Structure 1
Amino acid sequence: MASAAAVTSLADEVQCPICQGTLRTPVTIDCGHNFCRSCLTRYCETRGPDLGQPPTCPVCKDPFRPGSLRPNWQLAGVVHSVERLQLASAPGLGGEVVCQEHGERVYFFCEDDEAQLCVLCREAGAHGAHTLRFLEAAAAPYREQIERCLKCLRKEREELQEIQSREKKRIQVLLTQVSTKRQQVTSEFARLARCLEEQQSTLLGQLESLEEDILTQREELEALLAGEIRRFNALVEELEEKKERPPERLLTDVRSTLIRCETRKCRKPAAVSPELGQRIRDLPRQALPLQRGVKLFLEKLCFALDYEPAHVSLDPRTSHPKLLLSEDHQRAQFSYKWQNSPDSSQRFDRATCVLAHDGFLGGRHTWVVSVDLAPGGSCTLGVVSEDVPRKGELRLRPEEGVWAVRLAWGFVSALGAFPVRLALEEPPQQVRVSLDYEVGWVSFTNAVTHEPIHTFTASFTHKVFPFFGLWGRRSSFRLGS
């Protein structure tokens, strides 16, 4: 079988110089060049007659006589053989596109009708005034467009895959949090159940002891009263019987009987011990520890279900030279005197700020900051993205990766392109900062009164760090839990 290169070389030899396609009904003119009969006929119609001169060969420009066109049957046979070789050597032999009308292989593409044509379709004349190209030439610009579309689609697909991966991780984090919270709830309620059982046993024991003491007093009281009642019943019966006697019998020993009645001694029992009543009244006080324990349990449970306490410490590598950090890295104080701090890419050089040592890439975390501001001082609290600029001006706004509030001059402002002063009942001395990475919340509340201060919403994609800014002589802040 002929090689693809040989077939291509033969195909080039049987191309029409006018249409650049394979020769169809080839004819030879006086100079010996060959053309498609239809192509040369149209060529002659547009040349020669209008000028009063014979047309010239499209290849060598020699004049020829339009009436001297000679069919080249031998070349037509070669063309047919070449077409058969092309079909035989085609990679998709048996799967090539064939014209449904003529059964011939498709070689051309009509740009106007967007139709694929075989040689006979092209010769039919219906597409004579249309733009025709070989299939590969017509496909080339579309390949370029497809490549551009593929490039855009692949890029968007990568973005979607990144979003899918990120959101998948976030969902997994949320599921892990749910599992952790379930374990916390189970553990805390089991502990509460044990505590309640102990308290119940204690209170029931006290009630049982109190009941036994009350029953003992009741038995003693009833025994005493029963004896006295029997004695009085005997005296009453004796006097009633003596009263009914005739005079001679009534006067017998009447004085001794009356003396015994008049000199009787009634042993009246003491009232129920007041101590028993007091013990009953004191019983609710025995439940006060339980009440405080349940309240503490609920507070701890709500806190545990809400956020994980973050162990935050200040990073001296990021601290501005005007901030004095304590040895335990839990406190910072502003000073106009610059510290001898080595310069580095991590250190703030204009904004008097400092970051926490560790950042967060997920989860729900909370920490408390106690603020002590001197007159004219200010303190900025929040979180920042790890890629915020450390050198030069730092724009404190969410668009720059900073979600923070500022305490200054007795009020609090949410920082953004335009700071917004927040209406609060009282300026907080302790601020709780809470971060929910997956949901995208940065919340601030008064750690003492639990009054909400402000909440930012965001979509975190990088690690974020607790952020602290300070200004004003003798102003300071301290980290809490």
Structure 2
Amino acid sequence: MASAASVTSLADEVNCPICQGTLREPVTIDCGHNFCRGCLTRYCEIPGPDPEEALTCPLCKEPFRPGNFRPNWQLASVVENIERLKLVSPPGSDEEDVCQEHGEKIYFFCEDDEAQLCVVCREAWEHRAHTVRFLEDAAGPYREQIQKCLECLRKEREEIQRIQSRENERIQVLLCQVATKRQKVIFEFAHLCQFLEEQQSILLAQLEKLDGDILKQQDDFDVLVSEELCRFSNLISELEEKNRRPARELLTDIRSTLIRCETRKCRKPEAVSPELGQRIRDFPQQAIPLQREMKMFLEKLCFELDYEPADISLDPQTSHPKLLLSEDQRRAQFSYKWQNSPDNPQRFDRATCVLAHGGFTEGRHTWLVKVDLAHGGSCTVGVVSEDVARKGELRLRPEEGVWAVRLAWGFVSALGSFPTRLALGEQPRQVRVSLDYEVGWVTFVNAVSQEPIYTFTASFTQKVFPFFGLWGRGSSFSVSS
């Protein structure tokens, strides 16, 4: 049987020069070259630059007559036989299955030399002491090793794909965080620009008033000085005239003239009054609010960029039955009517409290609590440890895993080992709660005035949850980032 290489070589000899494929219905033209009938017909139909010019062979450029196609039946038979040989020759039955040295079919594999051997090679002196096996027998263990490698590689690929998916999700989260920080920077700087423009207008107006007051006092000073100069000039002129007169006229009323001149006191006017001078010296004090606002702005901006806004929602599985939660689980209202809530280990049964979903085991997080105590009552906000008591009495202090402050009508208390009433500039109605898990800080700030309320220092060892307590008819709170 012809080898695959010889079949391929013959197939190359019966290719059409136009389509480069095997000849189909081969025809011969005047010069003796062969082409597919269809290829040559289409070639003849292509219009040339000169319609009267004779067609030329695509290979040798010899003229030929379009209608003078001669079928080459012998060549067609050769093409058919070659196609049949190509179908009969199985894959792999090429020269690679034959020993290049002896021309015999390869049956064996030498484990020591990793060489494929024919019968003659097998009997050669250099392979007699080696481990030689049939090809399929030798391939079996290697197939098993390949299968094990494939399993390991597939597992590693799956792990990489999981890492890729996880990191892509993390990248999206980071992109969202960057977008949030960008919006915060834009908002805070816009607020700062507005404040600076207002402060600039105020300071410039005050400087303008100082300018006006200085110019007014300058005018008053000029008038007073002119009057004094005029009076003294008149007295000087009178005395000079008196001094030029004869003795009899000079002595006339001399004493009254001298007394009038000597008792004339010179008023020493001031161009700028002490009060105006003090106002000018005190002007830098007008920039103190600006300095204070800039300090607060920088602190707030650093804080906003350092802490991640927490997406807080309330967990109905932990809510006391007297708390009414909104559908979006971001607002709670106190009610004396008990809700039909199934009992479970997570639910508070005596303390009218609720926890947020999720919890934290690392990082810096912040959230906003808006409190409505228009009808009295109290609201407690903070964080609690995961194992905080859900059943029975709940002592709100750090020793029990609670770090919180209580807002009541008219006062705020830090719930430490002993509750401490705090002296604040104003009653907060929006509280910013911030958690630094690694450092162990729980910070409360008036979200409107940026006045610090209280900071707890702790050492967290387990998951902590945002914590909310509520008491009093109509009292409510809502959470946001």
Range of TM-score over shorter length:
0.5 to 0.7
Q: Secondary structure at the match of 1:164?
A: helix
Q: Secondary structure at the match of 2:96?
A: coil
1:223 aligned partner, one-letter code: V
**Matching residue within 377, 398, 417 for 1:407:** 398
Task: Report if aligned partners of 2:308, 2:366 keep a CA contact under 8 Å in 1.
Answer: yes
Q: Distance in 2 between matches of 1:120 and 1:348?
A: 86
How has the CA–CA distance of structure 1 residues 140 and 186 changed in structure 2, closer, same or farther, with 3 Å as cutoff?
same
Task: Report if aligned partners of 2:384, 2:401 keep a CA contact under 8 Å in 1.
Answer: no
**Matching residue within 441, 448, 452 for 1:445:** 441
2:399 aligned partner, one-letter code: A
How has the CA–CA distance of structure 1 residues 211 and 446 changed in structure 2, closer, same or farther, with 3 Å as cutoff?
same
> Could you tell me which residue of structure 2 aligns to residue 170 of structure 1?
170
Alpha-carbon RMSD: 5.0
Alignment of 1:243-262 (within 5 A): 243=243, 245-255=245-255, 257-258=257-258, 260-261=260-261
How has the CA–CA distance of structure 1 residues 123 and 277 changed in structure 2, closer, same or farther, with 3 Å as cutoff?
same
Q: Secondary structure at the match of 2:127?
A: coil
How has the CA–CA distance of structure 1 residues 468 and 89 changed in structure 2, closer, same or farther, with 3 Å as cutoff?
farther
Task: Report if aligned partners of 1:354, 1:469 keep a CA contact under 8 Å in 2.
Answer: yes
> Could you tell me which residue of structure 2 aligns to residue 197 of structure 1?
197
Alignment of 1:46-65 (within 5 A): none
Q: Distance in 2 between matches of 1:281 and 1:480?
A: 48
CA shift, 1:113, in A, is 3.7
How has the CA–CA distance of structure 1 residues 261 and 130 changed in structure 2, closer, same or farther, with 3 Å as cutoff?
closer
Alignment of 1:12-411 (within 5 A): 89-94=89-94, 96-243=96-243, 245-255=245-255, 257-258=257-258, 260-261=260-261, 272-280=272-280, 282-310=282-310, 312-318=312-318, 326-327=323-324, 341-342=341-342, 347=346, 355-357=355-357, 365-367=365-367, 381=384, 407-408=398-399
> Could you tell me which residue of structure 1 aligns to residue 12 of structure 2?
none
> 211-220 vs 298-307, which deviates more?
298-307
How has the CA–CA distance of structure 1 residues 222 and 291 changed in structure 2, closer, same or farther, with 3 Å as cutoff?
same
Q: Distance in 2 between matches of 1:156 and 1:469?
A: 45
Q: Secondary structure at the match of 1:96?
A: helix
Task: Report if aligned partners of 2:359, 2:466 keep a CA contact under 8 Å in 1.
Answer: no
CA shift, 1:121, in A, is 0.8
> Could you tell me which residue of structure 2 aligns to residue 62 of structure 1?
none
Q: Distance in 2 between matches of 1:166 and 1:225?
A: 86
Alignment of 1:419-430 (within 5 A): none
CA shift, 1:469, in A, is 12
1:179 aligned partner, one-letter code: A
How has the CA–CA distance of structure 1 residues 207 and 450 changed in structure 2, closer, same or farther, with 3 Å as cutoff?
same
CA shift, 1:305, in A, is 1.5
CA shift, 1:159, in A, is 0.7
Q: Distance in 2 between matches of 1:224 and 1:469?
A: 73
Q: Distance in 2 between matches of 1:467 and 1:233?
A: 87
How has the CA–CA distance of structure 1 residues 164 and 363 changed in structure 2, closer, same or farther, with 3 Å as cutoff?
farther
- Report Cα offsets for 1:37-72 as digits up to 9, x if no partner: xxxxxxxxxxxxxxxxxxxxxxxxxxxxxxxxxxxx
In structure 1, the gaps of 5 or more residues are 3-84, 333-338, 370-378, 385-405, 413-424, 436-440, 458-463, 471-477
- Report Cα offsets for 1:5-58 as digits up to 9, x if no partner: xxxxxxxxxxxxxxxxxxxxxxxxxxxxxxxxxxxxxxxxxxxxxxxxxxxxxx
How has the CA–CA distance of structure 1 residues 431 and 137 changed in structure 2, closer, same or farther, with 3 Å as cutoff?
farther
Q: Distance in 1 between matches of 2:102 and 2:274?
A: 122
**Percent identity of equivalent pairs:** 58
How has the CA–CA distance of structure 1 residues 144 and 244 changed in structure 2, closer, same or farther, with 3 Å as cutoff?
same
> Scaled by the length of structure 2, what TM-score is found?
0.54
> Could you tell me which residue of structure 1 aligns to residue 61 of structure 2?
none
Q: Distance in 1 between matches of 2:314 and 2:346?
A: 12
> 269-278 vs 117-126, which deviates more?
269-278
Q: Secondary structure at the match of 2:102?
A: coil
In structure 2, the gaps of 5 or more residues are 3-84, 334-338, 370-381, 388-396, 404-415, 421-430, 444-452, 470-476
Q: Distance in 2 between matches of 1:174 and 1:248?
A: 109
CA shift, 1:310, in A, is 3.4
Q: Secondary structure at the match of 1:293?
A: helix
Q: Secondary structure at the match of 2:207?
A: helix
Q: Distance in 1 between matches of 2:97 and 2:364?
A: 62
How has the CA–CA distance of structure 1 residues 179 and 327 changed in structure 2, closer, same or farther, with 3 Å as cutoff?
closer
1:99 aligned partner, one-letter code: C
- Report Cα offsets for 1:90-133 as digits up to 9, x if no partner: 41233624434334332211234433211111132543344332
CA shift, 1:217, in A, is 1.0
Q: Secondary structure at the match of 1:117?
A: strand
> Could you tell me which residue of structure 2 aligns to residue 80 of structure 1?
none
